[in-house]
Amino acid sequence: MPLFHHTIMSRSSFLMQQALESSSSDDDDELIIATAHIAHNQYKLLNAPRHGGSVPGRQEVHRNREAGHSRLHNDYFSDAPTYGPTVFRRRFRMSRSLFLRIVNVVEAHDGYFVQKRNAAGHLGLSSIQKITAAFRMIAYGVPADATDDYLRIGESTVIESLRRFVKAIVEVFGDEYLRQPNENDTARLLAIGEANGFPGMLGSIDCMHWKWKNCPAAWHGQYSGHVHEPTIILEAVASHDLWIWHAFFGLPGSHNDINVLQRSPVFARLAEGEAPQVNYTINGHNYTMGYYLADGIYPQWATLVKTVQSPRGNKQKLFAQAQEAARKDVERAFGVLQSRFAIVRGPARFWDKDTLWKIMTACVIMHNMIIEDERDDAEDFQYEAMGDTVRPSHAPTPELEEFIQIHHSIGNKQTHCQLQDDLVEHLWQRHGGM
């Protein structure tokens, strides 16, 4: 038995013996509780994760962490940095003000990123060093020790920083930047759809596969699909400005878009009566549910609008061209997401799915933060003049029968076909019968 484990076992046995000798028949309950508490603490100490520390035969590296922090600060974060805003934006994928905002919030949320002194009084790694190292892994997809020569930070510390960083991003910014559309968001999305010739459109939906390099061998069959390699699927809904409004990640790559949709919560709020009410008219027909543009594999639902596979006549050709062009918004969002964060473009090298989920979710959140930071408000849509098309829903949760009825209306094929025909006529009239 290792000396560490032997010491803990001896100490716990001594404490338990002392408790037994000092007990009486009147305090048996307290003895049981104390004994259980000792056993629980012993289990936590024996199973707590521990870093390797000083190991005989391992080379000792004097990294000079203070010099690494000083170099990083002078290059990017001083009052007169070596590299200006353009270079910072290219290397950090965002403006310096947004990055510093993230650093400050993450440092306040998790004390791990606060700079501390060790027992010898030497300063440890700064929050900027740890977050920059983790962010370089996310932005460039590099190994954990690739920035050691510049940032002076070890491989195990970078991995721990990455895990804690993405967790903090999800916990702090998730509610705001991965929220469901509220009434103002819905009104803006409807304005964007109307400007593109699709009244009632809330965005476009599609799926993306992320290759899982370190997928356990026993799971290869479950996670391998048409890509013929283990992958994990991300389902997303994106608007024209590339904001990702819905991100459902984690299903095995053996699923297709229909399987993912059946398990996705994308229409959960609508079925539960909590989504903002949407009312619009196309070609003389009234509709009360918004819709998403989708490709041909998706089912014929009232909340999905697909292209015409074999268009006949100029009307259908115009509709197919417009639908396929607008549907590319979600594919453009996937491309920008992978371009900004190379970690989700290359193969995933972590072993556990929980870490992969946090990495993907954090990348989507930071993607939306960058879009908000760089959005030109002067070119924003003025949706106040569109009329009363969106109202917040304050109705109570529907009963089971009403819930089932809403589900049936979402998957109504007849409404899907009628909506498609009305959009064909609407686009034809909008372009003056070209």
pLDDT given at position 215? 92
Beta strands in 239-382 (DSSP E): 244-252, 277-278, 280-282, 285-287, 291-293, 304-305
Beta strands in 351-398 (DSSP E): 390-391
Domain contains 42: no
Domain contains 139: yes
pLDDT given at position 379? 47
Domain end among 155, 176, 197 = 176
User: Same domain for 294 and 413?
Assistant: yes
Domain contains 330: yes
User: Same domain for 305 and 222?
Assistant: yes
pLDDT given at position 45? 54
Q: What is the DSSP letter of 280?
A: E
User: Same domain for 284 and 397?
Assistant: yes
User: Same domain for 78 and 195?
Assistant: no
Provide the number of structural domains found in the chain: 2
Domain contains 212: yes
Domain contains 40: no
User: Same domain for 187 and 165?
Assistant: no
For the whole model, what pTM was predicted? 0.81
pLDDT given at position 223? 94
Domain end among 125, 158, 176 = 176
User: Same domain for 242 and 159?
Assistant: no
Q: How far are the Cα atoms of 122, 130, 147, 276 from residue 63, in angstroms, in the given order?
A: 12, 14, 12, 55
pLDDT given at position 332? 95
Beta bridge partners of 205: 237
User: Same domain for 235 and 371?
Assistant: yes
d(CA 250, CA 271): 23
Domain contains 392: yes
Domain that holds residue 107: 65-176
User: Same domain for 149 and 169?
Assistant: yes
Within 227-385, residue ranges assigned H as helices are 257-263, 268-271, 313-340, 353-374
Domain end among 142, 157, 176 = 176
Domain contains 217: yes
Task: Work out whether the CA dihedral 403, 404, 410, 415 comes out positive or negative.
Answer: negative
User: Same domain for 247 and 277?
Assistant: yes
pLDDT given at position 54? 58
User: Same domain for 302 and 390?
Assistant: yes
Residues of the chain with pLDDT under 50: 1, 3-5, 7-9, 15, 19-20, 377-394
Domain contains 149: yes
d(CA 224, CA 244): 26
Output the six-digit token pair for 251: 């299903």
CA geometry: angle 203, 307, 188, nearest 5 deg: 20
Q: Token match 């190292």: residue?
A: 133
User: Same domain for 268 and 144?
Assistant: no
User: Same domain for 94 and 227?
Assistant: no
pLDDT given at position 275? 80
Question: Coil, strand, or helix at residue 332?
Answer: helix
pLDDT given at position 402? 73
